[in-house]
């Protein structure tokens, strides 16, 4: 049994990771400043003897004794990370420095939850880990994109300079229960609008593509990555390689929710990527992993969660 720190542990992904680590028999320290995370996401864990919740902002140093660190702390949706872009960059960069410093002090293995946004609006398709990306460094999404890119730089420099045991995964669009209903992400947007009987808002013509990975598949990959041998650093793409247009997603949500919502179109936001699809060759080879849960099955679970949350 390891003592594991999960930063951003009360968030969407972090809370599911805490669930999994506790099931695997670990002692879990969940750290969150509750900017986007919620105590309700981990309320069911508060009485667990191996779970501890600590309010803390990773832009400040943390002094604890742990064996492993999952660094997930950072607002991950445009609505949230553009609300305070300077703080978003600080969370990615200062947070990485502080968590890497902690890992160095206590000789812990540390995993960085990076993102497909490091590829920007990609010129190659699907995206492989050796692609350096096409990112606007001064756009409205740069606080997140460049913050995560800088965090990766720091992880690899700590690895080269200090021999730190690092792991880096690049997460593509993930969805599932405990998503924030107002986070502006496409899956939660469409489900909430459909459940409320509102029009479904598509940006652009709906032909841009995304690849959607259910949260349970994503967590499985992260745990497998953390358990790989020392020296296997990544980065490794984690996501579902099956690609859908945004319009196809909207139509599937409408079919599963029912109702009378209509599709409406709005201008495409600045720097919004036209396509996203992970090449998961490395994940298959190194982790023996590929997603198992299809989009319709994952959407049913997510819709059921939002029905309970919204009383619909």
* Integer Rg of the chain from CA: 19
* Mean model confidence pLDDT for the chain: 94
Residue 263 resides in a domain: no
pLDDT digits (tens, 9 = 90+) for 229-275: 999 999 999 999 999 999 999 999 999 999 889 999 988 776 667 78
Sign of CA dihedral 49, 26, 41, 302: negative
pLDDT digits (tens, 9 = 90+) for 129-170: 999 999 999 999 999 899 999 999 999 999 999 999 999 999
Residue 224 resides in a domain: yes
Helices in 38-185 by DSSP H: which ranges? 39-42, 78-81, 85-106, 142-162
Contacts of 53 (CB under 8 A, 6+ apart): 9, 10, 30, 32, 39, 42, 45, 46
pLDDT for the residue 271: 61
Q: How far are the Cα atoms of 2, 8, 167 from residue 227, in angstroms, in the given order?
A: 12, 20, 10
pLDDT for the residue 273: 72
CATH number (domain holding residue 162): 3.40.50.720
Please give the structure tokens belonging to residue 252: 């599937």
Residue 15 resides in a domain: yes
Residue 246 resides in a domain: no
Is the Cβ–Cβ distance between 95 and 152 less than 8 Å? Answer: no
Please give the structure tokens belonging to residue 59: 């832009």
> Is 223's pLDDT higher than 90?
yes
The CA-based angle 134-135-137, given to 5 degrees, is: 145
Helix (H, G, I), strand (E, B) or coil at 162: helix
pLDDT digits (tens, 9 = 90+) for 4-32: 999 999 999 999 999 999 999 999 999 99
Catalytic residues: 144
- Please name which of 74, 105, 299 lies closest in space to residue 186, comparing C-alpha atoms: 299
Residue 257 resides in a domain: no
pLDDT digits (tens, 9 = 90+) for 166-188: 999 999 999 999 999 888 889 99
**Mean pLDDT computed over 75-102:** 90
Contacts of 70 (CB under 8 A, 6+ apart): 4, 5, 6, 7, 14, 17, 110, 111, 113, 222, 226
Task: Work out how many domains the chain is built from and give that number.
Answer: 1
**Mean pLDDT computed over 101-114:** 98
pLDDT for the residue 254: 95
Residue 310 resides in a domain: no
Helix (H, G, I), strand (E, B) or coil at 296: helix
Residue with tokens 């296997």: 232
pLDDT for the residue 110: 98
Q: Which domain holds residue 155?
A: 3-175+213-241+277-292
Residue 208 resides in a domain: no
Residue 250 resides in a domain: no
> Is 121's pLDDT higher than 70?
yes
CB-facing half-sphere around the CA of 1: CA atoms within 13 A:
10
Residue with tokens 């160095």: 104
- Please name which of 14, 51, 50 lies closest in space to residue 32, comparing C-alpha atoms: 14
> Is 75's pLDDT higher than 80?
yes
């Amino acid at each position: 049994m390891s003592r594991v720190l999960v930063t951003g542990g009360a968030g969407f992904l972090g809370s599911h990771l805490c669930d999994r680590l506790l099931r695997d028999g670990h002692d879990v320290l969940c750290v969150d400043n509750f900017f986007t995370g919620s105590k309700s996401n981990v309320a069911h864990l508060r009485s667990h003897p191996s779970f501890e919740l600590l309010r803390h902002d990773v832009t400040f140093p943390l002094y604890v004794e742990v064996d492993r660190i999952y660094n997930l702390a950072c607002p991950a949706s445009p609505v949230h990370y553009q609300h305070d872009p300077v703080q978003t960059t600080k969370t990615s960069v200062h947070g990485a420095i502080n968590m890497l410093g902690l890992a160095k002090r206590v000789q812990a293995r540390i995993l960085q939850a990076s993102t497909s946004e490091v590829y920007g609006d990609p010129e190659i398709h699907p995206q492989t880990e050796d692609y350096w990306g096409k990112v606007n460094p001064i756009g409205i999404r740069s606080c997140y994109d460049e913050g995560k890119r800088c965090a990766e730089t720091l992880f690899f420099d700590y690895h080269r300079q200090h021999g730190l045991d690092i792991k880096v995964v690049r997460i593509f669009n993930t969805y599932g229960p405990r998503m924030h209903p107002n986070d502006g992400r496409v899956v939660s947007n469409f489900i909430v609008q459909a459940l409320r009987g509102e029009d479904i808002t598509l940006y652009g013509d709906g032909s841009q593509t995304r690849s959607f990975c259910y949260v349970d598949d994503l967590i499985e990959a992260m745990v497998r990555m953390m358990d790989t041998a020392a020296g296997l650093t990544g980065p490794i793409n984690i996501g579902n390689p099956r690609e859908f247009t945004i319009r196809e997603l909207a139509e599937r949500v409408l079919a599963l929710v029912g109702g009378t919502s209509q599709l409406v179109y709005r201008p495409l936001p600045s720097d919004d990527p036209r396509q996203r699809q992970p090449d998961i060759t490395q994940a298959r080879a190194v982790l023996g992993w590929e997603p198992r849960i299809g989009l319709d099955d994952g959407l049913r679970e997510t819709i059921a969660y939002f029905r309970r949350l919204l009383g619909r």
